[in-house]
Each structure stands twice: as structure tokens, then as C-alpha cells.
Amino acid sequence: MELVGEEKRIRALFSELRLENESVGPRFATVWNRAELGTVARRRPFRLSLVYSMALIACVAIFSFALVIRNWRVSQNPIAQVKDDAVTPGATAIQIPTSEGREKVVKQESGINRRLRVQKLAARRQAELIARKAARDAAAISKWQSPTSALLHSPSDEVFTSLPQLDESANELKSFLPKTPQ
């Protein structure tokens, strides 16, 4: 009996809820038309912080990409670059099949070799210069003397460094003694 009464009460409360829902509900035509247009209105608030963070991430990505590209270019071998330029399927590659073209390539290669040789020679000279300078420095350091080292010496240094003879003092003393008659 009580349960039936409660169910009725719950039903009444749900009816009241239905009335409330109907008052806040959108019209069918509005929702249907929006759906027909295929525009699901996602009313997400515009977040400036999100935009800032995305822009920051994009900047960092671009900067790091630029750095990587730059390093990669620097690390590339210049010979390979030149060869690539010669071999690339561009205008030069099409002109190469003639004998003049081949000569040009040979000349280019010999020029590169000469440049390399000069570079190697310069590097060797540089290394020799550095070695010579190091040897000179080492010699200078070994000969160096302190400017105050002279102050450490005195005329009486001989007394401390040499040993007297056994009878030397007695003989010297005799010369100072008055001559008394014996």
C-alpha cells in the first residue's frame, strides 16, 4: 500500500520534471535544421592559453627543424655536394654527354683535388709551426731563472761549503799571538 503510494508520488515528481524539461528544451526544427546542415555546434569556449601553447610548440618545432637542417648542410662533404650538383638531373646532367662536358667535369675534379692538396699542405705547415713553437717554449722554460735567485748567494758561502784543514786554524792563531821569549 505504502509502495503504491510512493510510486504515485515518484510518478508525480517525474511529471513535474517533465514540465520543467519541456520549458527548457529546444525546438525540434532548430535542432533538426542544424543537424541537416551538418554543423554540430560544439560550443567550446575559446581558450587563449591553449592557442599560446600551440603557437609556442610550433615555434620550437620550426626552430629545431631549422637547426637540424643547418647542421646537416654543414656536415655534408663539399666534394659530394659538387658531385651531386654535377650529377643532379638538371640542366648540367643533360649537357654532360658531350666530350666538352666530360672535360669540364674532369677539370672540376682536378681543381677540387688541387684545392684539397693545398688545404692538406697548409694544415701540415700549421702543425709544424705549432710543434716548433712548443719546443721553443719548453726550452725557454727550462732555462728560466728567478730574478731574485742572486740574493740567495753571499760571499761567506765558501765557509759553509768548504772544510778547514786540521792544522790550519792553529797556524793562523799563531800569527796573531804575541811573540814571547821562550
* Closer residue to other proteins (CB): 44 or 153: 44
Please measure the distance between the N-terminal and C-terminal CA atoms of the chain and give it in whole angstroms.
Answer: 166
Nearest distance from C-beta of residue 55 to other proteins, angstroms:
16
The amino acid at residue 162 is S
* Closer residue to other proteins (CB): 6 or 157: 6
* Closer residue to other proteins (CB): 46 or 176: 46
Nearest distance from C-beta of residue 85 to other proteins, angstroms:
50
Contacts of 108 (CB under 8 A, 6+ apart): 82, 86
Q: Is 38 left (phi over 0), alpha (psi -120 to 50) or beta?
A: left
Nearest distance from C-beta of residue 9 to other proteins, angstroms:
7
Site of interaction with other proteins (CB under 8 A)? 1-2, 5-11, 13-14, 16-18, 20-26, 28, 31-32, 34-36, 38, 40-45, 47, 49-50
Please check whether residue 102 is in contact with residue 124, taking contact to mean a CB–CB distance below 8 angstroms. no
Nearest distance from C-beta of residue 49 to other proteins, angstroms:
8
Cell of 152: 740567495
* Closer residue to other proteins (CB): 15 or 126: 15
Cell of 22: 519541456
